Structure 1
């Protein structure tokens, strides 16, 4: 069974990263205030990015990885600027 990692953009402009087996249901839960404490205080939210994964374990591992990324790196992923991701890594930053 497939799963998804997703990024929500909250009403305050912040991002929330999660994973789920049912993206449509999870998005509805977030927008109804039942998704997480974080998003319930920042409604409405919109789906900014999602990626299908082979399993929930893979999606959860990717979620945890993305949660450690900077805002700039998350924006690059959302905008499809995948070539920018290595440069935006903490190790790859210059200056």
Structure 2
């Protein structure tokens, strides 16, 4: 059973925007980008990719935005080097 699941998972690709697993044989939305075939789960993900011309990273969620705020705050308080730990 595990071998069958591994084989099924190998045939799937990941949407670069929402990181959803997409089966390339189910005729997903595709785009040729920098010589590689990109697979998208929906038209909206493909449109987001085209609009931003991103580096294939998903948008930051709440946790990522919070970490960015903390990093900016630390940079203001301690400078680019950060706090001294010793």
TM-score under structure 2 length normalisation: 0.24
Larger radius of gyration: 2
Structure with greater strand percent: 1
TM-score under structure 1 length normalisation: 0.22
